[in-house]
Structure formats: C-alpha cells, structure tokens
Structure 1
Amino acid sequence: MRLRRKWWARPELEKDDKAVFDPIRYKGKWKGLFGNNHPIHLELGCGRGRFINELAKINSHINYLAIDVYDELLVYVLRKANESRLDNLKVISINAQNLGDIFAQDEIEKLYINFCNPWPNKRHHKRRLTHPNFLGLYQTFLKSESEIWFKTDSEFLFMDSLEYFAAARFKELYKTYDLHQSDFQGNVLTEYEEKFCAQGIKIKFGRFKNSK
C-alpha cells in the first residue's frame, strides 16, 4: 500500500506520548512504560486503528501496542485513542522484521494479524507476515501458550498460512472460511473487513496457539 505523504503526520505524533520513537530502549521494559503489570497485546499493520482502539476500550485491563510503518496511518490511530481518552494504547512506527530488536522473551501475550499483504507472487511469499520465518520471529517474544489471531480476505493466503502455522508448531484452535456466518463470538471489525464484507467477500479467520 502506498500512501500520500502528509507532512503534518510526524510532528503531530511527536507531540503525543502515546507514540514511541525509541522502542529499542523498552525491550523487556514495556510494562514499565505503561506503568502497570497488565498483559500486552500487539497488532501488526494496524491501519487507521479502528480494531485496536475498540479492543482497548473494551479491555481496560490489557495494554495494546499498534504497529505500522506509516506515520500517516498511526496519526489516525492516536486521534481515535485521544477521543476515547485511552491510556492503554501506544503506537510504534517500525517494520515487522525488526520486532526482535524491541521485544524480549515472553513479553507479548497475544498477536493480531489482520488483512496483511498476501504477496501472491511465489518469490515474495517470505514477505508474508504469516510465513514461517516471521512466525519463528514472533516466537522469540510471544509467551508460551499465547495466541495469534489471523484474519484475511485472501483464501490462498489463508490456505498457505494454515500450513505455515503447522510447520512452526502452532496449534490450530479455531478456523473458519466465513467468519461472519460462523459461531465465533466477540469479533471486532477492522476498516478493511467492513469494506470486504460490503463487497460480499468472505472473511477467513483462525486462532493459533504458540506451543513451542
């Protein structure tokens, strides 16, 4: 996804203490940054933040980190958080391949991957956020028995990802090829999800437990 640069995005983020610009210094110390001992949940590719903000509103006993590479998106995440006066949500501008630099072992208790780039060309499959290379990276900071929740509109990405999770020794807890017609309770919509559903596209969803 390419976004038009917004010159005002970074200055606005820099004025907000919910935006973290030196995440490496908090490796192993994220609970200290939040000022409590609550579990930390992480969303990769948070977009404009509808999903993560709703979770933070519902679950005040959980701390949330929203990650994206675009300041132009993160600024909207923070605007929503400030409108709701949330103190359990922070944002980080970083590429997912560098997550090992900022999180210590057992630091994250749940990971959300929503509508990531499917990278359909086979030579680009290693860039998928559910590829075994990335799953192995996540296991360096996910607690044992913690979960990854994965949603996508892409059936071929979902099918491949089921194999990826199995190869990385994640236990499949739940899967559906049509989330909105399934028996799953407690789904929180993302912006993309609402758009795809309006187009009649079925949402694929799975829960996977870190057994390593």
Structure 2
Amino acid sequence: MRLRNKAGASEELLQHPTIIIQNAESRKGKWHDVFGNNNPIHIEVGTGKGKFLTGMSELHPDINYIGVEKYDSVIISALERIQEAGMPNFKLLNEDVINLTSYFEQGELDQVYINFTDPWPKNRHEKRRLTHERFLRMYEQVMKKNGEIHFKTDNQALFEYSLHSFSKYGMILNNVSLDLHKSDIEGNIMTEYEEKFSRKGMRIYRCEAQFR
C-alpha cells in the first residue's frame, strides 16, 4: 500500500515534543521519568493512526502507552487523536521498530502489541515479519521476565506462521482465537483496519504469547 505524504507533517511533529518524543536514545532506561510515574509500560509496534492505543489509554489510565510508527504521514493522525483526547499516558515515537533496543533498556517494557502488521507473504521477505525470530529476540530483550506479546491479524497465513514462530521460540500461547469477534475474549479495542475488515465479514485472528 502506498502512503500519501502529508504536507508539513515532519515540521508539525517537531512542534509537540511532549507527545512525539525526540532523541529517543537519550530516554533509554528513563521512560518512567518521561511519564512521571512508575506505571507499567506497553508499546504498540506500527501504531498507525493511533485508534487502538487511544482506546487502550482511555480504558487503562494506570498503564503508560507508547506507539512506535516510522511514517510521518501516518503518525500525525495519532498525534491529532492524543491532542483531541488529552491523554497523559500515551506518547509516540516516530522511529523504526528495528531499532527498538536503542530506545528501551533491558526489562523496561511490560507488554508489546502487534496489530495487523504487513504479512510480507514472500519467503524471501520472512525476516521482515514482526513475529520473526529476530524481532522476538529484540522484544524479549526490552521486556520484563514473562512479558507478553498480544497479536492480531486478518491474515491466516501470517497467523499460522506467527503461532509456529512463537512456539519455536519457546513462548507460552494463551487465548488463541481463530475468530476474535465470535469469541468470549473481553475488552477488545479495534484498530482502523480491524473495523474495516470486520465490516466486510472477515475473520480476525488473535493470540497472546508469553516469554518464559
């Protein structure tokens, strides 16, 4: 999918340093200071326009959320959501997830969300999938012991691949759902893509994977 550039997006992001955190490397190990509390820290990798974390922030004000999104033209929409709702427990990083260990200290995070990520269906692109082993190693490094990944997708092949990847890595699988919206899982917050796909009657797959 080609992303449309938003004129002036890069400049606008710089005008809100208390929400779009600059010089993320300097915050490594100090994220509780950024939020001004010792609440758990959850991140979403590829946060898109921020609908999911906006909902989560409202539902759980005692948790700190960070959305990681590398595209200026997308993260600007998440910024607008935060400004409109006024959420002190929701910050944004305009960075690439591949550099996650540069921004977070070992054991600094409690939970990671991966929602409707690019499936990269070609075998030669396997290492780009956010549930590939190389990313799992990175998540484990920055998360506390027994930290969890919550994963949602509309892509059955990616879901099957991810379950295998989690299991092969030695993670514990919980709450595996092959049709989320017909399950008894409570408290689900939908993303923009999830709303779009569910309106079309598409099945949503979800699981929780816990590091040992």
> Which TM-score tier does this pair reach, normalised by the shorter chain?
over 0.9
Assess if the C-alpha contact under 8 Å between 1:142 and 1:210 holds in 2. no
3-state SS in 1 of match to 2:141: coil
1:168-183 matches, cutoff 5 A:
168-183=169-184
Tell me the amino acid that sits aligned with residue 52 of structure 1: L
Assess if the C-alpha contact under 8 Å between 2:140 and 2:147 holds in 1. no
**Alpha-carbon offset, residue 9 of structure 1:** 1.0
Tell me the amino acid that sits aligned with residue 157 of structure 1: L
State the match for 1:115 in structure 2.
116
Assess if the C-alpha contact under 8 Å between 1:42 and 1:111 holds in 2. yes
1:73-92 matches, cutoff 5 A:
73-92=74-93
State the match for 1:15 in structure 2.
15
Counterparts of 1:167 and 1:147, CA distance in 2: 16
State the match for 1:47 in structure 2.
48
| Alignment partner of 1:93 is 2:89 | no
Unaligned 5+ residue runs, structure 1? Answer: none
State the match for 2:197 in structure 1.
196
1:111-150 matches, cutoff 5 A:
111-150=112-151
**Alpha-carbon offset, residue 43 of structure 1:** 0.3
Counterparts of 1:49 and 1:76, CA distance in 2: 7
State the match for 2:6 in structure 1.
6
Counterparts of 1:138 and 1:151, CA distance in 2: 16
**Alpha-carbon offset, residue 2 of structure 1:** 2.5
State the match for 1:106 in structure 2.
107
Q: What is the aligned residue count?
A: 211
Counterparts of 1:140 and 1:2, CA distance in 2: 32
Higher deviation after alignment, 109-118 or 54-63 = 54-63
% same residue:
40
**Alpha-carbon offset, residue 122 of structure 1:** 0.5
Assess if the C-alpha contact under 8 Å between 1:193 and 1:203 holds in 2. yes
**Alpha-carbon offset, residue 210 of structure 1:** 1.2
Tell me the amino acid that sits aligned with residue 51 of structure 1: F
Higher deviation after alignment, 8-17 or 83-92 = 8-17
**Alpha-carbon offset, residue 153 of structure 1:** 0.4
Counterparts of 2:188 and 2:134, CA distance in 1: 27
Q: Structure 1 residue runs of 4+, over 2 Å off?
A: none
- Alignment TM-score, normalising by the size of structure 1: 0.97
